[in-house]
Chain A
Amino acid sequence: MEQDSLLVMEHIHKRFPGVVALNDVQFRLRAGEIHALLGENGAGKSTLIKVLTGVEHLDGGTVTMEGTPISVKSPLEAQRQGISTVYQEVNLCPHLSVAENIYAGREPIKFCKIDWRTINQKSKELLKQFDLDIDVTAKLDNYSVAVQQMIAIARAVDVQAKILILDEPTSSLSTAEVEKLFQIMSMLKDRGLGIVFVTHFLDQVYAVTDRITVLRNGEYVGTYNTAELPKVELIGKMIGKEYEALESTPPAAAQDSEAEEFLRLEHAGTGSISDVSFSLKRGEVSGFSGLLGSGRSEIARLLFGADRHTSGKVCIEGKECSLKDPLEAIRHGIAFCSENRKTEGIIGDLTIRENIIIALQAKRGLGRVIGYSEAQQIADRFIEELAIKTPSADQQIKNLSGGNQQKVLLARWLATDPDLLILDEPTRGIDIGAKAEIQKVVMRLAQEGMSCVFISSEMEEMLRCCSRMYVLRDKEIVDELTGEAINEHHIMQIIAGEGETVNEEV
């Protein structure tokens, strides 16, 4: 049992200023298995992986690979030892060709020159193994994220890896692409690789993994055979007591046709969408569902003035508004959490306090400064209310885990006391506990009369939260559903373009 372990990590300790990230954690990986590493945000998954790949140095503990102790000091060394990693965000160079990306840093040399023929030929062969038949001399950013992800995996495997770490590889993939990835994972497993699979999608865990290791709050909870651990028990292990929180999330508020209208869009369009019309009522959570690229995010950006509408009109509380920039939208009581948390949400080097108050400060105007004590008060209130895990409001936001960053962003907008909250993928890449908390806050505020726009790729979450659902296809609203009509099967049909006849309203 112990002997066939490819990798053994024992008594791993890692401290960051003010936080114990890993406390006596162990992890065992066998050759030829797919091993899920699970836990909430801040449980220590990322830290454990960073320690293993040499990004962070461990403060205590041992790492043994194939029986010999190793100490990995840098990502390059990890690669030499046969540990390859594919991260959530594709970390390749978008402007280099596919083949260049695959061979970057280890180009074959022939007669003092880079041997492009070999590079291109070998790349093509390599990608063939993954059923990818693409032009390897084309620039990487010509291809979809899914293809880029495959290329990243191909590169990782090609460097003679023994261990492959996949850190949330599926969060930007479609169902079909996930299937494809799973096939590749099984193929690599049969070759004898040990695969560490980090994900927030539990269905995927059950679909593909052999064993599961669970971490919680930097502590080791246990390692289990996937087949023997029911999902409910797994969730219980991941989040401990907080599981009840998820169960008790109130269902979508009953939709109230008497409710006052807050905002109305009439034939509005931007560069990327044209002619959308709908209205948002107070106290209602309206969902916009559709595939990636169906126009969901574009509508959200239009509502917030992030992309200015060039045609049609927007009325807020009956009055027409130009919504020319985000500041005007904020002053009309609109708030917007972008789907791109890192690039359009957090302001990394600033503190949690500054990140929370900045929108309120902008709303008030830069001249009326929010003093230190008031800012501290606001920050403390939301840190407590949203259970943001941090030693203090003085921490830089970039040091927080994804879920906690998202909560800070939510706090930023709640601080402005919005009438309309637009959430674009608010729970992407964050754990169940934080998800449940965010959903609960949204529901509570909706009951208090706030209007909310909810966009998510997770249908289950949409069904739970939304009392009205707009379905989008090809940048157009093709249907509007309320009440009983909101069910997964029906929505899927409409998205797929089979549903028009079912609905009488249109």
Chain B
Amino acid sequence: MKKFKNRMEFRPLLSLIVILVACGILSGGSFFSLQIVDGHLYGRLIDILRNGSRYMVLATGMTMVLATGGTDISVGSVMAISGALACSIVDMRILPGLGGNTLAAVVIALAVGALCGAWNGFLVAKLKVQPIVATMILMTAGRGIAQLIADGKIVTITSDSYYYINGGYILGLPFPLYIAAFMLIAALLITKKTAFGLAVEAIGVNSRSARLAGIKVDRNIWLIYIFCGVCAAIAGLIESAGIKGADCNNCGLMIEMDGILAVAIGGTSLSGGRFSLIASIIGALVVQTITTMILAFGVAPEVIRVFKALIVIVICLAQSPAFIAKMKEAFGRKKVVAQS
């Protein structure tokens, strides 16, 4: 087994710990305070886990897509479609025959998410459209589709069973966290207990070689885009349950960039190849922690983006081997002198 220091999870975990410690110090410890109300845990850390769960779900799907050397920038729009669809069903605006059944709404939303993924996969794997262009089609068209489904309105709903998707608790922990854990474990089982993970990495490194080694490249890429579509649909459900309605214009807006950022912080190369789902999950938590921190410290709205950008730059530099090597070169001399 590899030493932990050399594993892909090491650097993102270090980043996460550093950010959390910084938050703790800056807030004088209140950042870490947890309260139990009605047997449910409350606090900033719980917020991070709850609000971060949609990032975690997205990052799970996005990791696989990026590992094949592809990308999916349509996830935000798929979230909007899934949210609009589920809320409209629950609100009995469409398919009233289902009687606003939450479970049926969820299943249909997930199926449509898979369909969106299948479309992306079809363009990328079969028609060989460049992934960023292929998924840009759905990124632009998706919000339009969501508008059509919601009839151009913001759909607000009242359904306790639907709220549960975001607001529920099991054993004191928020329900979306369990969804994220379920998706992670499912993805881990698929990639580790079968040779699917090896196939994905082989495709990402060299798809021509992979094909000649007997890997069904097109089919696997297709499956991965479908999986990513399902993940996006789940994230859409969590978000719409959180705001208790579907807002087609804002649901998941620009979230694809956060998703890609989470995977990048996790250390998966955007050009494909080696990937680590757990590292991406940690990356998702880093992204969410930054957001929560900005809210917690009341950073002025006009500087939020700059502030976030600065933190991201620092993290990316701290994880870049080239940058670390340069720093060692620049500051390392003192060490040599000290040793001799």
**In the complex with contacts A347-B206, A354-B198, A366-B199, A330-B214 CB distance below 8 A:** yes
Residues of B within 8 A of A384 (CB): none
Q: Is the CB of A359 within 8 A of B213?
A: yes
- Is B128 an interface residue, CB under 8 A from the partner? no
**In the complex with contacts A361-B198, A366-B194, A345-B205 CB distance below 8 A:** no
Residue of B198, B202, B213 touching A326 (CB-CB under 8 A)? B213
**In the complex with contacts A361-B198, A367-B194, A349-B216 CB distance below 8 A:** no
Q: Is the CB of B206 within 8 A of A358?
A: no
Contact with B along A343-365 (1 / 0, CB 8 A): 11111111000100011011100
Question: How far, in angstroms, from A350 to B213 measured CA to CA in the complex?
Answer: 13
Question: Chain A residue with minimal CB distance to B201?
Answer: A350
Q: Is the CB of B212 within 8 A of A350?
A: no
Q: Is the CB of B206 within 8 A of A343?
A: yes
Question: Smallest Cβ distance from A388 to chain B, in angstroms?
Answer: 18
**In the complex with contacts A330-B214, A350-B202, A366-B196 CB distance below 8 A:** yes
Residues of B within 8 A of A345 (CB): 209, 212
- Is A327 an interface residue, CB under 8 A from the partner? yes
- Is A162 an interface residue, CB under 8 A from the partner? no
Question: How far, in angstroms, from A325 to B215 measured CA to CA in the complex?
Answer: 10
**In the complex with contacts A344-B208, A347-B205, A348-B206, A326-B214 CB distance below 8 A:** yes
Q: Is the CB of B209 within 8 A of A369?
A: no
Question: How far, in angstroms, from A486 to B319 measured CA to CA in the complex?
Answer: 61
Q: Which of A385-425 contact B (CB under 8 A)?
A: 412
Interface size class of A (residues with CB under 8 A): 20 to 34
- Is B211 an interface residue, CB under 8 A from the partner? yes
Question: How far, in angstroms, from A363 to B195 measured CA to CA in the complex?
Answer: 11
Q: Is the CB of B205 within 8 A of A326?
A: no
Residue of A304, A344, A370 touching B195 (CB-CB under 8 A)? A370
Q: Which of B175-230 contact A (CB under 8 A)?
A: 193-196, 198-199, 201-202, 205-206, 208-216
- Is A159 an interface residue, CB under 8 A from the partner? no
Question: Chain B residue with minimal CB distance to A370?
Answer: B195
Q: Is the CB of A363 within 8 A of B214?
A: yes
Residues of A within 8 A of B216 (CB): 325, 327
Question: How far, in angstroms, from A349 to B209 measured CA to CA in the complex?
Answer: 12
**In the complex with contacts A349-B273, A367-B194, A369-B194, A362-B215 CB distance below 8 A:** yes
Q: Is the CB of B212 within 8 A of A304?
A: yes
- Is A336 an interface residue, CB under 8 A from the partner? yes
Residues of B within 8 A of A358 (CB): 198, 202, 210, 213-215
Residues of B within 8 A of A208 (CB): none
- Is B274 an interface residue, CB under 8 A from the partner? yes
Question: How far, in angstroms, from A485 to B328 measured CA to CA in the complex?
Answer: 67
Question: How far, in angstroms, from A330 to B210 measured CA to CA in the complex?
Answer: 13
What is the number of contacts between chain A and chain B, taking CB atoms within 8 Å? Answer: 75
Interface size class of B (residues with CB under 8 A): 20 to 34
Q: Is the CB of A326 within 8 A of B211?
A: yes
**In the complex with contacts A361-B195, A369-B195, A327-B205 CB distance below 8 A:** no
Residue of A336, A348, A366, A367 touching B212 (CB-CB under 8 A)? A336
Residues of A within 8 A of B196 (CB): 366
Contact with B along A223-240 (1 / 0, CB 8 A): 000000000000000000
Q: Is the CB of B213 within 8 A of A349?
A: no
Q: Is the CB of A338 within 8 A of B193?
A: no
Q: Is the CB of B214 within 8 A of A343?
A: no
Q: Is the CB of A338 within 8 A of B205?
A: no
Question: Smallest Cβ distance from B186 to chain A, in angstroms?
Answer: 15
Residue of B193, B194, B208, B214 touching A362 (CB-CB under 8 A)? B214
Question: Chain A residue with minimal CB distance to B2?
Answer: A394
Question: How far, in angstroms, from A345 to B193 measured CA to CA in the complex?
Answer: 26
Question: How far, in angstroms, from A174 to B199 measured CA to CA in the complex?
Answer: 38
Q: Is the CB of B195 within 8 A of A366?
A: yes
Question: How far, in angstroms, from A350 to B197 measured CA to CA in the complex?
Answer: 12
Q: Is the CB of B274 within 8 A of A349?
A: yes
- Is A306 an interface residue, CB under 8 A from the partner? yes
Residues of B within 8 A of A349 (CB): 201, 205, 273-274
Residues of A within 8 A of B214 (CB): 326-327, 330, 358-359, 362-363
**In the complex with contacts A343-B208, A347-B206, A412-B198 CB distance below 8 A:** no
**In the complex with contacts A326-B213, A362-B215, A350-B208 CB distance below 8 A:** no
Question: Smallest Cβ distance from A55 to chain B, in angstroms?
Answer: 16
Residues of B within 8 A of A325 (CB): 211, 216
Residues of A within 8 A of B209 (CB): 343-347
Contact with B along A278-311 (1 / 0, CB 8 A): 0000000000000000000000000010100000
Question: Smallest Cβ distance from A336 to chain B, in angstroms?
Answer: 7
Residues of A within 8 A of B201 (CB): 347, 349-350, 354
Question: Chain B residue with minimal CB distance to A306?
Answer: B212
Q: Which of B215-261 contact A (CB under 8 A)?
A: 215-216
Question: Smallest Cβ distance from A131 to chain B, in angstroms?
Answer: 36
9 contacts between A and B (CB under 8 A): A325-B211, A325-B216, A336-B212, A345-B212, A347-B209, A349-B273, A350-B205, A358-B215, A361-B195
The 7 closest A-B pairs by CB, nearest first: A362-B214, A330-B214, A366-B195, A327-B214, A349-B205, A361-B195, A358-B213
Given known contacts A343-B208, A343-B209, A362-B214, what 16 new A-B pairs fall within 8 Å (CB)?
A325-B216, A326-B212, A326-B214, A327-B214, A336-B212, A346-B206, A347-B206, A347-B210, A350-B198, A358-B213, A359-B213, A361-B198, A362-B215, A366-B195, A367-B194, A412-B213
